[in-house]
Copies of this chain bind each other. A is one copy, B any other.
Amino acid sequence: MTEAAAADTGITDAALTPVDVHLAAILDAIRPLAPAALPLAEAGGCVLAEDITARVALPSFDNSAMDGYAVRAADVASATERAPVTLPVTGEVTAGDPGAYALVPGTALRITTGAQLPSGADAVVPVEWTDGGAARVAIRQAPREGNAIRLAGGDAREGETLLERGTRLRPMQIAVAAAAGRDRVLVRPRPRVVVLSTGNELAEPGTPLVPGRIWDSNSYMIAAAAREAGCAACRHAIVPDDPAGVLPALEDQLTRADLLVTTGGVSMGGEHDVVKAALRRLGTVTFRKVAMQPGMPQGFGTVGEDRTPLFTLPGNPVSAYVSFQLFVRPAIGALQGDRALRLPVVRAALTAGVRSPAGRRSFLRGVLGNGTGADGRRRVTPLSGQGSHQIAALGRADALIVVPERAAQLSEGDEVDVLVLPA
């Protein structure tokens, strides 16, 4: 980093990499997964790798928007409450009826919602405007031409692009693809993620603790966060914090993973250089101190023949969680060809002052209300218990308060960027 860049970001320690620089390097290194044609029913949450176009007009035929009577508007133009117009009913067209009906002038056909409009008809009289007659119908209100008719192509013209490549398939987009007749769609699939917790102090939950051990929580948390971010079922395990533990586990998982995440040991200083050196030999993995709090020690690279992205996140649970949301979540989006998988940012006023190490961007756990104060601004409350190992406060947080690199403290009422956590 140049001195000018350092001055610009508010980062004073040249050994620290700005958050945005680290994220950009990650996104630069990631290639989207190969597209796959999935059954539509399994494609929810995946990202389109093709445009979806209307192969026929939608709807493909004029049809009734209501239950009622198909008529010629001119035949009932004089109808009023006091002087209804009565027409003979010559038949019924129901939804799904493939037959071709024609309306004889001066008559009516019963019609149900979604049924094809008979040729010759130019309006539908809702049943509520009539006496509901079967052989003859008395119509008490004159429809304008086109009343209660959905025209062919009213939803989409033939050839129209309905959904663009790169769109994430939410329920509404699934509906659009189904309405266009698609039972399979070309998508970037949900990435398969493998999470390894490194640390000789870690015990599997459910097993007894011996002195000096703690139960592993990171691998469970990061696997759950990855699923929440749209990944396929995630494998996770504890591995010893030495090359003989980490490397075989990583190599073993390479063929099963589109994304590898480790937490703990390997991202720390001094003592663990032997693991770092071993990881570097697997691929392009580099280790950096990023100008952030929590989460300063970060490792990222690609490993193996398929250049699978590998993250080494810090071992403190809060650091690991924040690092996941800032760096791994966008990487999951990039694997799917979706550059928009970021936490939403809102502006809010602090309800209490906060402190932060100058020169690093802080991400403090907070609670963001949906409401606004008397001044119309949203409010965010910093939580107590901001230690990197204190997961209890993390569990109450719904947002991360961003304190910029330049600021060492902020006061009540100061407006800040707030990252909204998935809910």
In A377-392, the 8 Å CB interface with B consists of: 377-378, 387, 389-392
Is A14 an interface position by the 8 A CB rule?
no
Q: Would A98 and B213 count as touching, CB distance under 8 A?
A: yes
Q: Would A175 and B44 count as touching, CB distance under 8 A?
A: no
Q: Would A59 and B214 count as touching, CB distance under 8 A?
A: yes
Q: Which of B155, B174, B209 contacts A224 (CB 8 A)?
A: B174
Please name all residues of chain B whose beta carbon is closer than 8 Å to the beta carbon of A346 when the two chains form the complex.
370-371
Interchain CA distance A214-B202 in the complex, whole Å: 57
Is A50 an interface position by the 8 A CB rule?
no
In A177-226, the 8 Å CB interface with B consists of: 177-184, 199-207, 209-218, 220-225
Known: A112-B271, A344-B423. A95 touches B200 (CB 8 A): yes
Interchain CA distance A61-B213 in the complex, whole Å: 9
Is A120 an interface position by the 8 A CB rule?
no
Is A12 an interface position by the 8 A CB rule?
no
Please name all residues of chain B whose beta carbon is closer than 8 Å to the beta carbon of A179 when the two chains form the complex.
214-215, 217, 317, 391
Q: Would A96 and B213 count as touching, CB distance under 8 A?
A: yes
Interchain CA distance A18-B315 in the complex, whole Å: 52
In A55-89, the 8 Å CB interface with B consists of: 56, 58-61, 63, 65, 67
Interface locus among A136-144, A165-173, A250-258, A356-364 = A165-173
Interchain CA distance A44-B201 in the complex, whole Å: 25
Interchain CA distance A215-B155 in the complex, whole Å: 13
Interchain CA distance A390-B172 in the complex, whole Å: 11
Known: A96-B201, A347-B372. A127 touches B270 (CB 8 A): yes
Please name all residues of chain B whose beta carbon is closer than 8 Å to the beta carbon of A202 when the two chains form the complex.
96
Q: Chain B residue with minimal CB distance to A218?
A: B175
Please name all residues of chain B whose beta carbon is closer than 8 Å to the beta carbon of A59 when the two chains form the complex.
214, 389
Some 9 contacts from A to B, beta carbons below 8 A apart, are A96-B199, A113-B268, A154-B387, A174-B221, A174-B224, A175-B218, A175-B224, A175-B395, A181-B203
Chain A residues close to B by CB (< 8 Å) = 40-41, 44-45, 56, 58-61, 63, 65, 67, 94-100, 112-116, 127, 132, 150, 154-156, 162-163, 169-184, 199-207, 209-218, 220-225, 227-228, 236, 241, 268-271, 315, 317, 321, 344-347, 370-372, 375-378, 387, 389-392, 394-395, 397, 422-423
